[in-house]
Every structure is written in C-alpha cells, then in structure tokens.
Amino acid sequence: MKNICKLSIIIITIFLTSCETDVTNDITLNETTPKLVINGGLERNIVTPLSAQRIQLTTTGSFLSNEDLPVVEDASVTISDGTDTWAFSYRGNGVYENDQIIPQIGNTYTITIVWNGETYEGSDTITEVPRFDDFYFEFEEETIATDEGYFVKFDTTDPAGVQNFYHYRLFRNNEFIIVPDPGNSQVLIVSDEFFDGRQRIGVNPNDEVPFEVGDIATAQQLAISEDYFDFLNELFVQTGNLGNPIIGNPPPASIRGNLINLNNPNNRALGYFYAVDIEEDTITITED
C-alpha cells in the first residue's frame, strides 16, 4: 500500500524554458511520442513487510491535459540481483507485482522493461538503514516558520565511517503527506556529511506538517543511494518552484533518471527505479 503513489514522492510535469547541458531529448509542447514513466522500486521493510513489490508504468500525457496519465499494460518487467531473476505480473492500472522477491541488504538490483519494441534497464543498490532509538511527538507553539501543533520526531544513530543518504516519509492516518516546496530538498532528504557516526536527537521528518490529537502518525527513514539522493534533490527543487503542482504527472524531462534505453539512448524513460531499506514507526497523537 505504501510503495507506489504514496512512497514515490511527487511526480509532476514541468516544461522548462531554459536550456540545460545535461538534458537529452527534453519534452516540448510539440512532442507527440509518449515517454515511458516508471513509478516505484524495491522496498525492504521489516517493520511492515510488503505483501508484494510493485512497479507502476505509465506514459507521458498531453500538455495541460487533466486526464490521468495513460497506463502501460503490455510491458515485460523483470528484476535481477545478478543471480536470480523475478518476473512481475500485470495487475491493472499500470501496476506490475511480484510477491516472491525479498530485497536483501547489499544487493544491487537491475530492472529490465521491454515495451513498445525497446528495452530499458536501470539499477540501484540497497544499503542498511539505521533503526530508531526513540520515536515520539512534541507539541510546539506557532512560529514564523511553523504552525502550532504536534510534531512527530525520532532519535537515530548514523553509522560511523560510512557515507549515508536518507529520505523521510510522513503519513497522517495512513495518507502520505508532502509539502512540495524547494525547502524539501534540505528537509526530506539529507546526507550524513555533517553528522557521520553521531546520534541525532529530535529529527523532524517534516516540520511543515503538524498533527492533531487523535491523528495516527507514521514516519519512515529510508536509506537511499547517492544517485537517488541527487535525483530527489533536483526533483524537489523543480517541483517546489512550480507553485501549483499537478500530482500524478511525470517528473520534469530535464531530471535524468536511471533507466537507460538500450535501443535508443536518446529516448530515456522518466522517473527512477530505486531500491531502499526502510525503518518505520507509528504513534497516535494524544494530549500531553
């Protein structure tokens, strides 16, 4: 439930007017050939294990269209760890599932998608996430930067001598919450450059999201790869600058994902295939 629309962050259409040197075949208003869009990845969650791993495939839609993105129903999707290969079955709404694959720490996973006569591949590696030392909430008065309310926080210890990158997710009553502004690139994703090996006290996964008494709050800390960190950083900056994002549309074409088209390198897929380890906890907000 938590690894498709709610865990794949913001996916938004932006048509940039500026030219970027690292952009290949940007989407323009005149482009008529749909691009493949991947939404999802592999998630290792020992707290609430997933019943199945899910990948959603869509294509880019028409500019200014209010309709849902066209789904991809006829793709072949497999994931390999270099030894075993798992085939994903189509379940509807562009979602492909496999209930046999169990993601493992340290493994590099490669997804292969065959669609429309072309083959796409992308890889990511799972690194172990630190567990929560403590998980709680605190009431905070209104400030210039934040609203009044209860805020979920946790303590956690970063592994020493290992470069780590983290992504935070927050849920209110099982609904994914995110505020799409540029500041998210400094809040929802972090590297351990300045706290390697240290215990972190009172980490707030999103200081723009207050809770009320009775709310059920769930927070996740994800260990992500450096490449996925860079992708999310650019995604948050660009979607934040958009102003009024349209949730559910593909990411900006100028943000390079990790899926390569083996037949036509200029026709890259949008989005990012990720492989992550997740720490999670849930708490009900009560009065002090």
Cα separation, 140 vs 61, in Å, equals 43
**38 in any annotated domain:** no
DSSP lists the bridge partners of residue 152 as: 137
Tens digit of pLDDT for each residue in 17-48? Answer: 222 333 333 434 445 678 999 999 999 999 99
Tens digit of pLDDT for each residue in 111-123? Answer: 999 999 999 999 9
Q: Which residue in 252, 262, 206 sits closest to 18, CA to CA?
A: 252
* Residue numbers of the domain that contains 136: 132-221
Strand ranges, E, within the chain: 36-45, 53-59, 76-80, 85-92, 95-98, 108-115, 118-125, 132-140, 149-157, 165-172, 175-177, 189-191, 199-203, 216-224, 260-261, 273-284
Q: Which residue in 41, 102, 38, 103 sits closest to 71, CA to CA?
A: 38
**190 in any annotated domain:** yes
Cα separation, 13 vs 249, in Å, equals 5
**193 in any annotated domain:** yes
Amino acid 114 reads: V
**158 in any annotated domain:** yes
Please give the model's pTM, rounded to 2 decimal places.
Answer: 0.85
**182 in any annotated domain:** yes
Q: Is the dihedral of CA 134, 49, 189, 14 positive or negative?
A: negative
**119 in any annotated domain:** no
Residue 285, both tokens: 């907000």
- pLDDT attached to residue 27: 39
Identify the band that residue 74 occupies on the pLDDT scale cut at 50, 70 and 90. Answer: very high
**15 in any annotated domain:** no
For the chain, how many structural domains are there in total?
1
- pLDDT attached to residue 32: 60
**258 in any annotated domain:** no
Residue 81, both tokens: 């760890």
